Structure 1
Amino acid sequence: MAKKNGNSMVPVGKTIINGREVSFATYRVQDGDTIYSVWLKLRDKTTVGALKTANQLQTNTLVAGKIIKIPLVL
């Protein structure tokens, strides 16, 4: 699960999104999660495109248990 401090996610590293360095938190994928459903939970912090780019995803499908980056672009 994402590291959280209250309602905010705690940055744990940096990644490059569209040539810009941005902080990211992490999230452990739950059974049934998709990129879209994760984005709905975190839409005040990131975008679908940033999620896909940071995690080098071509589809919206995620594997339960995998830890993904949540780029904090917003």
Structure 2
Amino acid sequence: MDGYRLIDGGSLIEAICHIDPETEVPIEIVNVAEGLRIRSQNNASSSRPEPMARARRALILRNEGYTNAQIAVSVR
């Protein structure tokens, strides 16, 4: 299966099912670029972004054709 499996809060399906085996977890299959974009938007809206948020944002910009100089300015 190609793409990322994104779950609100960044939890893994296995961890959720371990706590509650009867739980129903909605899954949305997306391509890599869309997965990175969704995760970046989720982090931008949280009060404390995760440690890899800046690196993920840089990867998104690089995939969209930004130069290294433009990326450096954008992720500051």
- TM-score normalised by structure 1 residue count: 0.24
- TM-score normalised by structure 2 residue count: 0.23
* Larger RCO, structures 1/2 (Cα 8 Å, 6+ apart): 1
- Which structure's residues are more often helix, by fraction? 2
- Which structure's residues are more often strand, by fraction? 1
